[in-house]
Amino acid sequence: MFMLPRKYVLVIAEKPKAALKIAQALSKAKPVKHRMYGVPYWVVYHSEIPYIIASAAGHLFALTTSEHGFPVFKYYWVPAWAVDKEAKYTRPYYLVLKNLCRHAIAFINACDYDIEGSVIGYLVIREFGDLSRAYRAKFSTLTSQDLRQAFRSLSKGLDMSMVEAGLCRHELDWIWGINVSRALMYAVKIATGKRIILSAGRVQSPTLVEVVNTEKQRNLFIPTPIFNINVNIAIGGRTYTLEYLGKPFTRKKEAEEVLKEIKKEKWAIVENVKYEVEKIKPPPPFNLGDLQAEASKIYGFSPLKTQELAEQLYLDALISYPRTNSQKLPLSIGYETIMLKLKENSEYRNYVENLLRESRGILKPHEGVKTDPAHPAIYPTGLRPRKLNVEQQKIYDLIVKRFLATFSTDAILHSITVYLRISRFKFKLKLRRLHLKGWLKYYPFLNINYVENLPFIGKGQKLPIVKAKVLTTYSRYGKSYDKTSLLKWMESVNIGTESTRARIIENLFSRRYLKTVRGKIEVTPLGYAVSEILEKYFKDLTSVELTRKFEKMLNDIRRGRMKRENVVLESKNILSKILLEFKAKAAEKAGIELGKSLKYIPVENKCIICEGEVVNMKLCKNHLEALENLFKQYKVWVYAYGSIPWREYLKKVFSLNVSGKWIREVAKGILDNVIEANPQ
C-alpha cells in the first residue's frame, strides 16, 4: 500500500480528467498514479514539494433538512450520496478527499473557475481541511502552459465573492424548490390521499409557465387569409418573382381586381435600378449560448448535448472553458500561437495559411458585446484532437471554424434592386451576388440567397410578364419553442445561467411536464395542470421579474455589493407569506384541481373531445375558448372571401397545419357532427 508523504499540498480538481491534466502539467516526469477506494489520484513533485492531485466528481455535498412539511427554512449541507440515490457514485471521491485533507499543509481549489467550481472546492476544504491555508487556481484551458501559469500565480485565499454567490444560488434554489414542491404534493395528498412526486423550482417554474402560455395561444390560433399579387417575369431566359410593393390585401375581391388590370399588360417597365455593395461582418467568437444555437441549427443537437460535448472537449484540453457568456478574445491567449498549432492539423492547414495571408499576420478578432468576468469566449487551444467521436468532432470543427472566421474580413455582396411598374402598380426585384466570401470561407454555415451573375437591367427596359396570379397565404402564430429557442428566451429575460439553463430545460422533460413532437415542444396534461396551479396560487413565484430580481442580487453578491444572508432572508420572507396563505386557504381547492388533472379524482362531466371538466356546451374551458375563437374568426374569413359557407371555413381551418391544435379538434368535432355549433 502506498504511504502518503508526511507533508504535501492537496490540489482539488473538479473531475478526474482535469486532475490528470493538472498532474501532467505540474510534473516534470510522468505523474505517479495511485488509487484509494478505487478512485485515482496523482502524486507529483512541483518545486521540490510533494503535490497530491485528487478529484471531486462534481458536487459532493447537497442541502437537506430534517424537518417535514412546509414552509421549511432550516437546512444544512450533507454528503450528496447520503440524500440522493443518483449521487451514490460520489461516495468514494468524498472518502478519498476526506482522507487526503487530513495531512495536507495547504489546499488549492483547482476546480473550474466559475461559481459551481468555487463552491465545490470551498465545501471540501471547509468540511475536511482548513480555509486559512487555502489557495485558488484560475485558468480557462487545461493546456499545460495555462495550468503552469495558473499555479505560478495562485490567489491566497479562496474567491469568496464567487463562493458566496454560489452558496446563495444553491440555498435559493433549495428553499424555493423544496417548499413549493411540498406545497403541491401536500395539496394532492389532502384532496386525494395519494402521495406523488411533483416539482417546482425558482427558474424551472417561470420557464414552464412561459412554455404553457405560449402553447395555449398557439393551440387557440386561427390563421387569417392574406392575398397578394404574384408576378413572374423573364430576364435572360430565367424567370424571377417580383415583390408587390403595395400592402397585402385583406379581401380577395380587391386582389382579383388588381390582377385583372395587371393581366391586361404584357410588360413590366423598369422605373429605377439601384446598385449596392453589402458587407456582412464576421461573427463574434462563440459563447455557450451562441454555440448551442448554432449546433442546434446545423446539427440538430439539444442545448444540453452541445454543452456536454463542449465540456468533454474542454477536459481533453482542446478548447477553452465553454460555460462562458463572453464574446471577447483577449490578446493574452496568443492568437498566432493557436493559429500555428492549428496549422499542424492537415484539416485546417489551408484555412490557417489563407487567413494568415489575407490578414498579413495582423490578427484582430471581431468581438461581440457580451462579457464574462471569469472567462473569455470559447476558443480552440490548438492541441491536436485524438479519437474524437463524430459528435465531438462536429462541435470541435464548429468552434475552430468560428474562431478562424472571427479574424477574417467582411463577406461582400453586390446587389441590384430593380423597381418596376405594371399598369399603375409598383413591384420590386432584388438580386444579390457573392463578390468576396471573406469570413464565409472559414465558416460556411450562413445561408445566403444569391445568384451566380447579376443580369444587366437598365431604366426604361421592358421585361416580359410570364405569369400573374393572386397568391393566398395565411398568417402564422409567431412563437413556438424548441429546446434551443427556449434557452434563448431564458437568456433574453436573464433567468438561469450559462451552466444551468440547458439542465433546467431537460428537467422539465424528465418531470414529464414537456415532451418533444416533430422537433417542437409540447406541454403534457401534467405540465398544464402544474402550470395552472402555480400561476393561480403562486403567481409571484412564477414571474420572470421576481426570478430576474434574484439573479441580479446573485450577481451583486458576486461583485461584493450584497450579502448572502440578506438575499436569503428576503427570499424566505416572500415565500413564507405565500406558502402560509396557500396552506390556510387554497391547498384543498388546488389539490382537487390537480387531482382531476392527474385522474385521481374522477371528472363527472367530461369534455366530448378530451377528458377535461365540462364548462359549457359539453366542452372544457380550452375547447370552449377554441369554439368562441372559431365564431369570431369566421366573420374575418367572410369579410376576406366575400362569402364562405360555415362548413367550408371549418374544413379549410382544419386542413391548415398552422391552425391551433384545439381549434382543429373543435372544427373536426363540428364537421363530424359531434358538436352542434352554428354561427349566429
Question: Cα separation of 227 and 474, whole Å?
Answer: 9
Instruction: Report the CATH fold assignment for 8-158.
Output: Rossmann fold (3.40.50)
Share of the chain above pLDDT 90, in %: 92
What are all long-range contacts of 640-649, with beta carbons under 8 Å and residues at least 24 apart? 640/224, 640/225, 640/227, 640/250, 640/251, 640/252, 641/225, 641/252, 642/251, 642/252, 642/253, 646/678, 646/679, 647/671
Q: Confidence band (pLDDT; 50, 70, 90) for 3?
A: confident
Mean residue pLDDT across the chain: 95
Residue 1 pLDDT more than 80? Answer: no
Residue 2 pLDDT more than 80? Answer: no
| Type of residue found at 159 | D
3-state secondary structure 208-236: HHHHHHHHHHHHCCCCCEEEEEEEEEEEC
Cβ pair 239, 268 in contact under 8 A: no
Question: Cα separation of 310 and 518, whole Å?
Answer: 26
Q: 613 - beta bridge partners?
A: 606
Question: Cα separation of 603 and 613, whole Å?
Answer: 6
Residue 544 pLDDT more than 70? Answer: yes
Share of the chain above pLDDT 70, in %: 100
Grid cell at residue 442: 472559414
User: From the candidates 51, 240, 321, 481, which is the catalytic residue?
Assistant: 321
Q: Under 8 Å CB-to-CB from 119, ≥6 apart: which residues? A: 59, 163, 166, 167, 170
Cβ pair 160, 132 in contact under 8 A: no
Q: Is 45 part of the annotated catalytic residue set?
A: no
Grid cell at residue 1: 500500500
Question: Cα separation of 223 and 660, whole Å?
Answer: 9
pLDDT at position 611 is 83
Q: 52 - beta bridge partners?
A: 10, 43
Question: Cα separation of 591 and 574, whole Å?
Answer: 22
pLDDT at position 597 is 87
CA torsion sign, 604 to 609 to 611 to 612? negative
Question: Cα separation of 48 and 494, whole Å?
Answer: 47
- Exposure letters 415-425 (e unless 16+ CB within 10 A, then b): bbebbbbbeeb
* Kind of pairing between the strands at 8-13 and 32-36: unpaired
The number of residues making up the chain comes to 680
Question: Cα separation of 662 and 449, whole Å?
Answer: 37
168-220+481-597 shares the fold of 8-158? no
Percentage helix, strand, coil for the chain under 3-state DSSP, each rounded to 5:
45, 20, 35
* Kind of pairing between the strands at 514-517 and 267-280: unpaired
Question: Cα separation of 61 and 116, whole Å?
Answer: 12
Q: Confidence band (pLDDT; 50, 70, 90) for 85?
A: very high
Grid cell at residue 119: 463552491
Cβ pair 10, 56 in contact under 8 A: no
According to DSSP, residue 263 is labeled: T
Q: Confidence band (pLDDT; 50, 70, 90) for 479?
A: confident
How would you class 634 by CB atoms within 10 Å of its CB: exposed for 0-12, middle for 13-18, buried for 19 or more? middle
225-281+411-474 maps to CATH 1.20.1090.10: no
Grid cell at residue 123: 465545501
For 7-59, the pLDDT digits (tens) are 999 999 999 999 999 999 999 888 999 999 999 999 999 888 999 999 999 99
Question: Cα separation of 634 and 670, whole Å?
Answer: 14
Q: Confidence band (pLDDT; 50, 70, 90) for 434?
A: very high
For 321-336, the pLDDT digits (tens) are 999 999 999 999 999 9
Distances (CA, A) of 378 to 16, 140, 286, 409, 539: 22, 9, 5, 20, 38
Instruction: Find the angle CA(172)-CA(500)-CA(492) to the nearest 5 degrees.
Output: 95
Question: Cα separation of 479 and 492, whole Å?
Answer: 15
End-to-end CA distance of the chain: 90
Question: Cα separation of 346 and 351, whole Å?
Answer: 10
Where do runs of H (alpha helix) occur along 300-388? Answer: 303-315, 335-343, 349-359
Nearest to 25 by CA among 150, 156, 117: 150
How would you class 277 by CB atoms within 10 Å of its CB: exposed for 0-12, middle for 13-18, buried for 19 or more? exposed
Pick the CATH number of 168-220+481-597 from 1.10.460.10, 3.40.50.970, 1.10.1060.10, 1.10.150.20: 1.10.460.10
Give the E-state strand segments of 37-110 in sequence order.
Answer: 39-46, 49-55, 61-64, 76-79, 104-110
Nearest to 257 by CA among 470, 440, 406: 470
Between 501-510 and 483-492, two packed helices, what is the crossing angle to 10 degrees? 130
Cβ pair 539, 584 in contact under 8 A: no
Nearest to 662 by CA among 580, 597, 607, 587: 607
Residue 598 pLDDT more than 90? Answer: no
Instruction: Find the angle CA(108)-CA(113)-CA(114) to the nearest 5 degrees.
Output: 130
Peptide bond into 40 cis (omega under 30): no
Grid cell at residue 656: 391548415
Coil/strand/helix, residue 510: helix
Q: Which of 123-127, 611-615, 654-658 has the lowest mean pLDDT?
A: 611-615
Cβ pair 520, 480 in contact under 8 A: yes
Instruction: Find the angle CA(615)-CA(180)-CA(117) to the nearest 5 degrees.
Output: 135
- Residue identified by cell 484509494 is 36
Residue 672 pLDDT more than 80? Answer: yes
According to DSSP, residue 154 is labeled: P
Pick the CATH number of 288-405 from 3.40.50.300, 1.10.290.10, 1.20.120.450, 3.40.640.10: 1.10.290.10
Residue 368 pLDDT more than 80? Answer: yes
Cβ pair 665, 623 in contact under 8 A: yes
Provide the residue ranges of all domains of the chain, joining segments of one domain with +. Answer: 8-158, 168-220+481-597, 225-281+411-474, 288-405, 605-680
Question: Cα separation of 37 and 435, whole Å?
Answer: 63
How confident is the model over 305-327, as a mean pLDDT? 97
CA torsion sign, 233 to 237 to 239 to 242? negative
Coil/strand/helix, residue 381: coil
Q: Which of 40-49, 92-101, 215-224 has the lowest mean pLDDT?
A: 40-49
Question: Cα separation of 10 and 93, whole Å?
Answer: 14
Residue 680 pLDDT more than 80? Answer: no
Q: Give the number of C-alpha atoms closer than 13 A to the C-alpha of residue 59, restricted to the C-beta side.
A: 19
Grid cell at residue 145: 502552459
